[in-house]
Amino acid sequence: MKSEEEQMSEALVRIFENVVLTEEKSLQAGYFKDLSIAEMHTLTAIGPYDARTMTNTAEDLGITTGTLTVAIDRLVKKGYVHRERDKRDKRIVRISLTHTGKLACRMNSKFHRVLAKHILAGYDEKDRKHLLDLVDEVDRYVEQQLKRYDSSENVRATARQVAKDTTKEKN
Amino acid sequence: MSDSKIQREKVFEDVVRIMAETLEISPEEISADLSFNSDLPFDSLQLYEFVIDVEETYNIRLPDEVLDEVKTVSDIVDVIIKLADK
């Protein structure tokens, strides 16, 4: 029989992979076949409303502005993103979604909402609340782990610290 | 005629025009009491086409949480008037 840790670990990895895979397949089968998952996530990070700066969007996606520039070049060419220089400060580049970009972004949000709706539909109100509390805790824990790497300039030092803490917990 | 009634009629006209263009149907086929779910032939892509056009026309935001409460053509007119007034 699998240990609780194995069950939890396998389920977490599987859920993550299957959500991304389902999202990818739904894209391929739908109206936005020319978009990759990474491109769709870039559109989501820009969002359907206000224009955003390249710097803020790159920060949200956890990538460099250089990497984002390459992605935005492609999305502008495909007609999903509009890019312009700030009228007052020419150094600032602002990006926003075109009508088609907004459409793709809204359809993708709908995909996530429908998935969540179907998962929650199997539970009564009390169990839904309990499930959401548990998912929230898992989310917070994983987020904390990510922050340990974010706040450190030296990733190796953080990795060593994590390994040390884990050994301590085991002993 | 009061200002609010004129405004409501103008918003209703805009909604009908955008809806008819999106669905490629005649504006005469659309009335205030029609339901988004059962009477109007929207698929989800067309629904968001319509929503984005309305957002851009009135410079408002219609997130899914707001759309969940909209059942009829008359409801969307009410929501637009409420949000455009802010």
**Residue A103: which of B45, B61, B64 has the nearest Cβ?**
B45
Distance in Å, alpha carbon of A103 to nearest chain B alpha carbon: 6
Chain A residues with CB under 8 Å of B47 CB are none
CB contact under 8 A, B61 and A49: yes
Q: Is B64's CB within 8 Å of A113's CB?
A: yes
- With beta carbons less than 8 A apart as the criterion, state whether B19 and B30 touch: yes
Q: What is the ipTM of this complex?
A: 0.84
Would you call B44 an interface residue with chain A, using a CB distance cutoff of 8 Å? yes
Quote the CA–CA distance of A74 and A136 in Å, as a whole number. 35
Question: Closest-CA residue in chain A for B65?
Answer: A113
Q: Does the beta-carbon distance from A103 to B64 stay under 8 Å?
A: no
A119 Rama class: left (phi>0) / alpha (psi -120 to 50) / beta: alpha
CB contact under 8 Å between B64 and A110, yes or no, is yes
What confidence score (pLDDT) does residue B52 get? Answer: 96
How many domains, chain B?
A: 1
Contact (CB, 8 A) for A68 and A42 = yes
Beta bridge partners of A23: none
Using a 10 angstrom Cβ sphere, with 0-12 exposed, 13-18 middle and 19 or more buried, the burial of residue A126 is: exposed
pLDDT band with cut points at 50, 70 and 90 for residue A170: low
Confidence at residue A153, expressed as pLDDT on a 0 to 100 scale: 56
Q: Is the confidence at residue A94, as pLDDT, over 90?
A: yes
For A13-122, CATH number?
A: 1.10.10.10
Shortest Cα distance, chain A CAs vs residue B70, angstroms: 16
Shortest distance between the Cα of B18 and any Cα of chain A, in A, equals 14
Strand order of the sheet with strand A93-97? A52-53, A93-97, A81-85
B59 confidence band (pLDDT: 50, 70, 90):
very high
Q: Which residue of B has its CA nearest to A106?
A: B48
User: Which structure tokens are listed for A124?
Assistant: 């009564």
**Mutation choice for A interface testing from B21, B43, B45, B61 by most A CBs within 10 A:** B45
Mean pLDDT of B3-11: 81
Q: Quick check: B2 pLDDT over 70?
A: no
The model's confidence at residue A151, banded by pLDDT at 50, 70 and 90, is low
Asked if pLDDT for residue A154 goes beyond 70, the answer is: no
Q: A27-80 pLDDT, tens per residue? A: 888 888 899 989 999 999 999 998 999 999 998 888 889 999 999 999 999 999
**pLDDT score at B37:** 87
Domain positions in chain A:
13-122, 125-171
| pLDDT for position A169 | 60
- CATH for B81: 1.10.1200.10
Structural domain of B69 = 3-85
- The per-residue pLDDT for range B32-57, each reduced to its tens digit, is 999 998 999 888 889 999 999 999 99
| Cβ pair B49:A109 closer than 8 A | no
pTM flag (> 0.90): no
Pairwise CB contact (< 8 Å): B45 & A107 = yes
Instruction: Reply yes or no on whether the pLDDT at A95 is more than 90.
Output: yes
User: What's the whole-number average pLDDT of chain A?
Assistant: 87
Confidence of residue A26 (pLDDT cuts 50, 70, 90): confident
pLDDT value of residue B1: 56
Q: Tell me the nearest-neighbour CA distance from B17 into chain A, angstroms.
A: 18
pLDDT tens profile A112-135:
899 999 999 999 999 999 999 999
Say if the Cβ atoms of A109 and B64 lie within 8 Å.
yes
| Interface contact A99-B45, CB threshold 8 A | no
